[in-house]
Amino acid sequence: MNRNVIWKVVLILAVLVVFIVAIIPTANNPEPIKLGLDLKGGTHLVMRVNVGDAVRLETDQAAETLKTQSQKINLPALVTRRVNDFSFMATAPAGVTTADYEKVAKDFLGAWDMSRTPEGAMLFKMKTASITAIERDTIEHAVETIRNRVDALGVTEPIIAPESGNRIVIQLPGIDDPARVKDIIKTTAVLQFRLVEGSPGPDQAGVLASVPENMKSEVEVLPGTREDELGRPVGVEYYAIRKNVPVTGTDLKNARVQKGQLGQPNVGMSFTPDGARKFGALTGANVGRRLAIVLDNKVMSAPNIKSKIEDQGVIEGNFTQQQASDLSLVLRSGSLPASLTTLEERTVGPSLGRDSIRQGIMASAIGFFALIAAVLLYYHGAGINAVLALLLNLVILLGMMAYFKATLTLPGIAGIILTLGMAIDSNVLVFERIREELRENKTVRAAIEQGFARAFGTIIDTHMTTIISALFLFQFGTGPIKGFAVTLLIGLFASVFTAFFVSRVIFDVVYKPEARPSTISI
Amino acid sequence: MQIFVNTKYDFVKWRFSAVVFSLVWVLIGAAFFLKNGINWGIDFAGGANIVLKFKDKVPMDKLRADLADASIQQYGKPEENSVLIRLPQLGREGDYAGATVAKLNKDLNPESADPNKIDLNYHGRDRLFDLLFTADPDAKGTNEASKKYYTDLATSIISKRSELGLFTNISQVSSVAGVTSADSRVLNQRVFLGSFNVLNQETVGPQVGRELQMKAVWAVILSTLAMGLYLWLRFDLMFGVAAIVCIVHDVLVSLAFLGILRGEFSLNIVAALLLIVGYSINDTVVTYDRVRENRKKLKQRMSLEEQLNLGMNQTLSRTILTSGSVVIVLVALILFGGKVIHEFAWILLIGVIAGTYSTVTIVPAVAIAWNNLTGRTHDISGPARSARIEEPRNEAPARKRKAV
């Protein structure tokens, strides 16, 4: 055999071995080809991060800073009002010049532009660059927090990726309780420790009335749960809570489920050194008063402070075991910087995925064997050549998917078998050309040479058109369809190789040029 | 075996009747769309789809009463006890499907009100683990080994569920390998079997739906134009235009089929259309490639009509064979591929057939019309012209050969 041909055969066998190795499952890699959510079961979520929340918070803090800093240098108190998410208005008492306040603003509110309203109030507007920076940080922080939570849930191979338009795409393969997972992801989990004023009660107005007059502007009324003597929830209880937040969830070091005195589950927390200092100062200075534990603007409990506490605390609130462990999980993973809104969800249960795999493989196998039968029937000996090329195509396709860690989806399974149906096209083009050349009384070798040479341009063109549409598919598609496009693209490249190179080498081996073959089975 | 050897069909002659036939087909499809409106699927219209599998017969009346504006239909065979619930868009973003499933759970499973019980057809492994680990029926203690023991136990119970679709009887839980009688006792007290399991739930908010709509339309238009551009560069302007007309034809014919069947317009359908754009043009490329090759080779005077007929007849067997092989595969997918890709495979099948059909009818019609408009520039005027083109082949004289 020609040396050249031997090298080609070696190359083909090497390709075969490399790709077969890639698709054989091993102990380290039990699933060499990754299955998509539609086959494995799982949840695909697109969430919008409401970045306005974070900007608004920053605006409120800036207004607060301006107020406190001007009070520190004994300026008369300002009245501030938020105009929208990124601007607020500050009005000085009548007759007081604003020049001094402006100096304070210059020192402390560098990220703000100030203008004056016709009425003489100061209007502060956040600089666009700062808004962008806050939005970017918020998204990053949200991705980080969600990742922590998803990891804590033990989801394997999740995808959590920011997308344009303040969105986060979350893919969670193999989860079996999507409702719970979504709850955990979406909980903002802003934990605050704040002092209670006045006395709590079932109606909001009454609660506010119990607060001393001078404290009224310093408190807000938040809902909590009303309990009977046995600790069972019986309705809503309102609390007047100080606006000032001395200790927050960021001061926590750890949170875990533990058992209360009656065996009911609650969440125990321990503080960071800095947090412990703050918590110690807060509790030490307020022994005998009530301290509210506020989670996402809801009062979880408001125990009396019996003595100075530094290292740990307990959140009680009629939890079930699961609620307590979910709460400790979100507290450990930190709070979200802004609320999330679900824009899209696609959840496939595991049993449906199982059905899809079974049906997809079944349909593909039947299609594949029908294809082989048709090719063998029509082309006899050359048909074997085409089938070998097809099998190699399949091996390369699967091997490349394993190698590139591409995801196999249900449309992807359809894509594999469809690619094989299309790959036959190249063989047919060549074989028909060879037959034509034979009809024109060419020798077997000349017919093979000419057949391949003349079909080449056409094969490239037909592949190019399909590649163009596969690229559009990829660009357009979401999850499963992207998987389809990837399968198609890989298959198309593989088919140029198999139909053109491999098939040619097989002919060269079977009908050796030096043997001057006079018959060909085609 | 050989078919369609040395055929001499006069394809060009049929082009007018073919154009009329295609137009009638597309108009019928358009009439269906006008009458019924476009059946936008959840991907584009937004809303929610939920597939539930019930333990017993589907409580249709209860579902209908509970979800007033939903369309509820049987999913799969009647004995599968499954329904597909479609909810129209709400006009605001949010976890629509999740909220609906929670509501159904509350209404159809009264036991779910008890926070100390878990629904084994609704909740997952973690919750079951928590229950087992805290109750500790097998007295394993609270160490890591015990954690692993109960995690494995919960995992095998839940994977039994996904194998079955859902539990219909508590004895199915007890018979899972590893479940001891002590476990069964605890499970009997602390779990119940809710009436349904969620096979599939999807929510598409209004914003995402609108975006997908725009994206789909643009993807189809741009890929068609890209294809025309590629073929214009590779061949000539006449062919580029003919190719675009051919693609538009194939897409419209497939869409008409969707309209007549009142099929749902989903992401998968758009994927099929995009694939049709790329694939159905292949026959046309092969045929025209041959026409171009002939133009270089032929020595006698020949009109474009004759060149097209010659090219189409020469490539006919290849065209039938390759379309045939894709059709074989698609039929297998239609028959055995399951519900999810059923419509996708159907539309592709129609597109592939339309692609082959348009290659021998629509493309010549456009090419000939173009040729007539541009002063018959694509005719071959005769030997004087082709004499300049060298015969490319130069090989040994024919030997004995035999085709089997």
Residue A30 is part of which domain span?
A: 3-41+351-515
Q: Is A81 helix (H, G, I), strand (E, B) or coil?
A: strand
- Residue pair A328/A382 in contact (Cβ under 8 Å)? The answer is no
Contacts of A264 (CB under 8 A, 6+ apart): A231, A316, A318, A319
Q: What does the pLDDT read at residue A323?
A: 83
Q: Is residue A408 part of a domain?
A: yes
What does each of the 522 residues of chain A score in pLDDT, given as a tens digit?
678 888 999 999 999 999 999 888 888 888 888 888 888 889 999 999 999 989 998 898 898 888 888 888 888 888 888 899 999 999 888 878 888 888 888 888 888 998 888 888 899 999 999 999 999 999 999 999 999 999 988 888 899 999 988 999 999 998 888 888 999 999 988 889 999 998 898 888 889 888 888 888 788 899 998 887 776 778 899 999 998 888 888 888 888 888 887 778 889 989 999 989 999 999 999 998 999 999 888 998 888 888 888 878 888 877 888 888 888 888 888 889 899 999 999 999 888 888 888 999 999 999 999 999 999 999 988 999 999 999 999 999 999 989 888 888 888 888 888 888 888 888 999 999 899 899 888 899 999 999 999 888 888 888 888 898 899 889 887 778 888 888 889 999 999 899 889 999 999 888 888 888 888 888
Shortest Cα distance, chain B CAs vs residue A81, angstroms: 29
pLDDT value for A1: 62
CB pairs under 8 A between A and B: 289
* Residue B401 confidence (pLDDT): 46
Closest by CA position to A47, among listed A346, A348, A474, A481: A346
Q: In the structure encoding, which two tokens stand for residue A91, read together?
A: 């009005």
Same domain flag for A336 and A396: no
Amino acid residing at A315? I
B289 CA: distance to closest CA in chain A (Å): 7
Smallest CA–CA distance, residue B268 to chain A, in Å, is 7
Query: How many of the other CB atoms lie within 10 Å of CB of A289?
Result: 14
Interface predicted TM-score (ipTM): 0.83
Asked whether residue A310 falls in the same domain as residue A367, the answer is no
| Helix (H) and strand (E) counts in chain B | 16, 7
Q: What are the residues whose beta carbons fall under 8 Å from the beta carbon of B5, sequence distance 6 or more? A: A439, B317
- CB nearest to A177's CB, from B127, B159, B281: B127
Within-domain flag for A427 = yes
Shared domain for A329 and A361, answered yes or no, is: no
Residue after which a domain boundary falls, among A293, A328, A345: A345
Identify the H or E element spanning B236.
none
Distance CA B183, CA B173 (A): 10
CA distance B59 to B107: 12
Query: Measured between CA atoms, how close is B219 to chain A, in angstroms?
Result: 6
Of A90, A106, A127, which one is at a domain's C-terminal end?
A127
Inter-chain contact B404–A478, Cβ cutoff 8 Å? no
Compute the residue count for chain B: 404
Residues 417-476 of chain A with CB under 8 A from chain B are: 417-418, 420-422, 424-425, 428-429, 432, 435-436, 438-444, 446-447, 450, 454, 457-458, 461-462, 464-470, 472-473, 475-476
What pLDDT is stored for residue A33 in this prediction? Answer: 87
Architecture label for domain B11-41+205-382? Up-down Bundle (1.20)
- CATH code for the domain in which residue A109 is found: 3.90.1070
Segment holding A30, helix H or strand E: none
Q: Which residues of A touch B234 (CB under 8 A)?
A: 461
Model confidence at B264, pLDDT cuts 50, 70, 90, reads: confident
Confidence of residue B392 (pLDDT cuts 50, 70, 90): very low
Going through A65-104 in order, the beta strands assigned E by DSSP cover 79-84, 87-91
**B284-313 pLDDT per residue, tens:** 889 988 998 888 887 788 899 999 999 999
Structural domain count, chain A: 3
Q: Is A507 in the same domain as A482? A: yes
- How many CB atoms sit inside 10 A of residue A424's CB? 29
A215 & A86 share domain:
no
Any alpha helices (H) in B262-382, and if so which ranges?
Answer: 267-279, 281-297, 304-336, 342-360, 362-373
Q: How far apart are CA B141 and CA B377, in angstroms?
A: 91
On whether both A264 and A333 belong to a single domain, the answer is yes
Q: CA-to-CA distance for B175 and A307, rounded, in angstroms?
A: 54
Calpha distance A65→A58 (Å, rounded): 10
Has residue A511 been placed in a domain? yes
Please check the confidence at residue B387 and state whether its pLDDT lies above 50: no
CB contacts of A446 in chain B (<8 Å) are 395-396
A88 and A227 in a single domain? The answer is: no
Q: Which CATH number does the domain housing residue A303 bear?
A: 3.30.1360.200
User: Is A63 within the bounds of a domain?
Assistant: yes
- Look up residue A458 and give its two tokens: 């056409």
Could you tell me the two tokens for B232? Answer: 């214009």
Query: With an 8 Å Cβ cutoff, are B123 and A180 in contact?
Result: yes
Per-domain residue ranges for chain B? 11-41+205-382, 47-203
- Say which CATH number the domain at A423 has: 1.20.1640.10
Residue among B38, B24, B22, B33 nearest B245 (CA): B22
The two three-digit tokens of residue B15, written as one number? 């082009």
DSSP annotation of B390 reads: P
Specify the pLDDT at position A129.
92
8 A C-beta contact, residue A445 and residue A511: yes
Residues A490 and A430 in one domain: yes
Choosing from A321, A345, A369, the residue where a domain stops is: A345
DSSP codes of every residue in A391-419:
HHHHHHHHHHHHHTTPEE-HHHHHHHHHH
Banded pLDDT at B395 (limits 50, 70, 90): very low
Residue A321 to residue B285, Cβ atoms within 8 A: no
Q: Compute the nearest-CA separation of B170 from chain A (Å).
A: 19
How high is the pLDDT of residue B259?
Answer: 92
Report if residue A254 sits inside a domain: yes
Per-residue pLDDT at B399 exceeds 90:
no
> Is the confidence at residue B77, as pLDDT, over 90?
no
Nearest to A349 among B197, B332, B336 (CB): B197
Contact of A5 with A516, CB cutoff 8 Å? no
Q: What is the CA radius of gyration of chain A?
A: 35
Q: In the 8-state DSSP scheme, what is residue B113?
A: G
Q: Are B351 and B283 in contact (CB under 8 A)?
A: no
Please tell me if residue A366 touches chain B, with a CB cutoff of 8 Å.
yes
Same domain for A203 and A334, yes or no, is yes
φ, ψ for residue A118, nearest 5 deg: -55, -30
Nearest to A514 by CA among A2, A7, A10: A2
Question: Taking Cα atoms as reference points, which of A332, A37, A32 lies closest to residue A155?
Answer: A37
pLDDT confidence of residue B397: 47
* Number of residues that make up chain A: 522
Q: Is the pLDDT of residue B393 over 90?
A: no
Least Cα distance to A44 among A478, A415, A409 occurs for: A478
pTM of the entire structure? 0.83
Q: Are B198 and B101 in contact (CB under 8 A)?
A: yes
* pLDDT at res. B394: 46
Nearest to B274 by CA among A324, A476, A159, A438: A476
Collect all residues with Cβ–Cβ distance below 8 Å to A94 and sequence separation of at least 6: none
User: Same domain for A204 and A114?
Assistant: no
User: Which among B159, B327, B271 has a CA at the least distance from the CA of A351?
Assistant: B159
Distance between terminal CA atoms of chain A? 22
Give the relative orientation of helices B362-373 and B237-261 as an angle to the nearest 10 degrees.
140
| Range with top average pLDDT, A97-111, B197-211, B383-397 | B197-211
